[in-house]
Amino acid sequence: MTQDELKQTAARTAFEYVESLLEKDTVIGVGTGSTANLFIAELGKIQHKVYATVASSEESARRLKELNIPVLDLNSAGTLRVYVDGADEANEHLQLIKGGGAALTREKIIAAASEEFVCIADESKMVSVLGKFPLPVEVIPMARSYVARKIVKLGGDPVYREGCVTDNGNNILDIYNLKILDPRKLETQLNQITGVVCNGLFAERGANRLLLGTSAGIKTYLP
């Protein structure tokens, strides 16, 4: 199976799981990126059953609205029953790196506001140690250089993502050459740097369920 087919399998499995949870007023959190887009397409097949969603990016909100699926602001939605999104890397502890699509802050907020976070990915995203994928950090523009200097002291090589402005109006630094042996510790260290809005480590709030598309079928990881 191709990588796209593995993603599709994971998205379809997540859709079937979420459909089983639906009640008349269930609000679904929806992520951002190529795998999340496949999940959105699946949701479109039952749009008449979907009470409402909350999207982690303007792009995902646009896709949902094109399918006539209602999109709410998180402030009016309350606690979400389930949030479905992809990942750039995942480990067996269901800790993730996210933010390749620059939506990490809103993704982390929605994950925190959800009862359950279902992560969908293909098998290439599973790693034993996080960090091969550059770790995104969203920063206030005026703090970009200051934050980069602090990141160097933590052992990373930050690179400014040229031409990228987040939905929140901020910049992204991608941290290369990290071997993240203690994801929770690094997540906290990065959050404590003045000027950092959010970082792409989902360790404190990792996934509750990881659906991994593999050549042998779907592999489900639970905490």
Helix/strand number for the chain, H first, E second: 7, 13
Whether residue 186 has pLDDT greater than 90: yes
What's the pLDDT score for residue 51?
97
- The helix/strand/coil state of 98 is coil
User: Average pLDDT for residues 69-75, to the nearest whole number?
Assistant: 97
| CA distances, 100 to each of 120, 133, 173, 198, 218 (Å) | 15, 9, 11, 13, 23
A 10 A CB-CB count for 78 gives 11
What confidence tier does 20 reach under pLDDT thresholds 50, 70, 90? very high
| CA distances, 177 to each of 47, 121, 155, 157, 174 (Å) | 43, 23, 8, 6, 10
pLDDT tens, 94-115?
A: 999 999 999 999 999 999 999 9
Q: In what order do the strands lie in the sheet with 82-85?
A: 52-55, 27-30, 82-85, 117-122, 209-214, 217-221
Whether residue 200 has pLDDT greater than 90: yes
- The residues that are catalytic are 107
Tokens of 100: 């390749």
Question: Could you give the domains of the chain?
Answer: 3-128+204-221 (3.40.50.1360), 135-198 (3.30.70.260)
Mean pLDDT of the chain: 97
What's the pLDDT score for residue 1?
86
* Residue given tokens 């990792």 in the structure block: 206
What's the pLDDT score for residue 213?
97
What's the pLDDT score for residue 174?
98
What confidence tier does 138 reach under pLDDT thresholds 50, 70, 90? very high
